[in-house]
Amino acid sequence: MTIKKIEILRVGVPFETGGPRQGMRPGLNTNPWVVNESLMVRIETDDGREGWGEGFGHFSNPGTEAILKDLIAPWFIGRDETNLDGVMNEAHRSFFGFGRQGPCMYALSALDTALWDLAAQRAGKPLYQMLGGPAEDVEITRYASLMRYGGDCEAIARNTRRAADLGFPMVKLHEREMPAFMAAREAAPEGVAITLDVNCPWSVAEAAAMARDLKAQEGVKGGFLWLEEPVWPPEDFDGLSRVRAEGTAISGGENIASIVEFNNAIKAGAFDIIQPSVAKMGGVSTVKDVFPLGADAGLRVVPHSFYWGPGYVATAHILAAQPKPEWLETAFIAYEENPHDLIDPFDPKLTLSADRPGLGFVADRNLFERYLISRTVI
């Protein structure tokens, strides 16, 4: 069956943060983050089926949208969607010169996920079963990934308590200062994990000093479960291994774009927890192969999924296919309307049904129209 049409949609849903609004990251932009945007693709085949995918993300979406419209999506038209491995291998070889990271890879990630959605639909199975998961429904546990509150300890504590009261087993911060870290740790009951995503701010020496300080807090309700991406640049795997030697668990990998790079990171001893991103590193085809790498090395694989569209749902399916599913990162924000029935930021549980083939992603086209930023059909 061939690919007849590709629809590219940018949909942005307004949200409330539960605290002071900040830009996406320090130094990236000064405008408050008010809309959580998804860049989605919908592949339509000549026999009328449709598959959905999502590429990263947020403020980079105009770049990914442009490369999809002008270069990558037209290449896919007329290709045999049932030859998933062959088509994606040829696509990666055709477009590698435009970057193995960034918008080109984000675009390929979206299309790969959409092809997996179609493949599972044709098999009459949910994606997690196509990937080796169980025959029955699977319940996934979400964890609460808080917005950045700019160090506002009151907002951090309040949202951490709220997430814990709702039943989330883990709360992630996007802060960089010890007072903020301790506000969350002291607000959460013992048994609720606190993790710290600092987004690559420090030298190796600075990160090692922070890792030592965090290690010293283990007596406070168990301390912190992991420190995420502490070093600039994020691909300094040897530097990360030196930080890891301080005794605080180190996580990372959302900015790694290939299995080769993950192998290099593992060999260097960079991580205790690895975090591939389905919307960044080639879609389902690549991320599913990170899990056996992690298992062979004795490492946890807890994917990055700070998005809400088909990429988020695909991440849930990949987790559901594992013998012991890890927790699913979910942005802890109040959408003006929940974008679809498989995302609820305040419910710590998500059930994937064995009766919904493919991703089971049902687009609410009326909602998409209300929050539509742009649409292109190729």
Q: 237-286: per-residue pLDDT in tens?
A: 999 999 999 999 999 999 999 999 999 999 999 999 999 999 999 999 99
* pLDDT value, residue 22: 80
The CATH code of the domain that includes 25 is: 3.30.390.10
Mean pLDDT, range 338-367, rounded to an integer: 97
Pair 353, 31: CB distance under 8 Å = no
Is 358 among the domain residues? no
Cα 93 to Cα 56, 226, 320: the distances in Å are 20, 36, 30
- Do 330 and 373 belong together in one domain? no
- Do 111 and 169 belong together in one domain? no
26 has a pLDDT exceeding 90? no
- Do 136 and 56 belong together in one domain? no
CA angle, corner 332, sides to 39 and 274, nearest 5? Answer: 75
- Do 177 and 251 belong together in one domain? yes
25 has a pLDDT exceeding 80? no
- Do 294 and 345 belong together in one domain? yes
325 — pLDDT class (breaks 50, 70, 90): very high
The CATH code of the domain that includes 144 is: 3.20.20.120
- Do 231 and 120 belong together in one domain? no
Report residue 80 CA to chain centroid gap: 28
**pTM beyond 0.85, yes or no:** yes
- Say which amino acid occupies 126: P
pLDDT in tens, 231-245: 999 999 999 999 999
308 has a pLDDT exceeding 70? yes
Is 13 among the domain residues? yes
Pair 281, 257: CB distance under 8 Å = yes
Which of these, 226, 231, 241, 243, lies nearest to 302 by C-alpha position? 226
- Do 183 and 108 belong together in one domain? no
Q: Compute the distance between CA of residue 142 and CA of residue 107 in angstroms, rounded to an integer.
A: 26
Is 314 among the domain residues? yes
* pLDDT value, residue 28: 66
The SS3 call for residue 377 is: strand
Domain that holds residue 95: 3-124+365-377
* pLDDT value, residue 29: 61
Which of these, 354, 355, 272, lies nearest to 321 by C-alpha position? 354
Which of these, 9, 40, 10, 73, lies nearest to 361 by C-alpha position? 40
Q: What does the radius of gyration of the chain's CA atoms come to, in whole angstroms?
A: 20
Is 265 among the domain residues? yes
- Do 162 and 300 belong together in one domain? yes
221 has a pLDDT exceeding 70? yes
24 has a pLDDT exceeding 70? no
Is 357 among the domain residues? no
* pLDDT value, residue 73: 98
Structure tokens at 97: 């010169």
- Do 93 and 163 belong together in one domain? no
Q: What is the mean pLDDT of the chain?
A: 96
Is 56 among the domain residues? yes
Residues 6+ apart with CB under 8 A from 356: 126
Is 360 among the domain residues? no
Query: How many structural domains does the chain have?
Result: 2
Which of these, 39, 32, 40, 37, lies nearest to 12 by C-alpha position? 37
Q: Compute the distance between CA of residue 342 and CA of residue 211 in angstroms, rounded to an integer.
A: 36
- Do 82 and 26 belong together in one domain? yes
* pLDDT value, residue 32: 83
Cα 266 to Cα 121, 231, 253, 262, 298: the distances in Å are 34, 16, 10, 6, 10
Mean pLDDT, range 20-24, rounded to an integer: 78
95 has a pLDDT exceeding 80? yes
Share of the chain above pLDDT 90, in %: 95
Share of the chain above pLDDT 70, in %: 98
- Do 99 and 137 belong together in one domain? no
- Do 159 and 296 belong together in one domain? yes
Beta strands at 273-274 and 250-252: parallel, antiparallel or unpaired: parallel
Tell me the sheet residues that pair with 5.
44
Is 196 among the domain residues? yes
| Residue recorded with tokens 């690895």 | 274
- What sections of the chain are H helices per DSSP? 61-67, 73-76, 84-95, 103-123, 127-130, 153-166, 178-187, 204-215, 237-244, 259-268, 284-297, 310-320, 365-370
pLDDT in tens, 64-83: 999 999 999 999 999 999 99
* pLDDT value, residue 279: 98
pLDDT in tens, 98-150: 999 999 999 999 999 999 999 999 999 999 999 999 999 999 999 999 999 99
313 has a pLDDT exceeding 80? yes
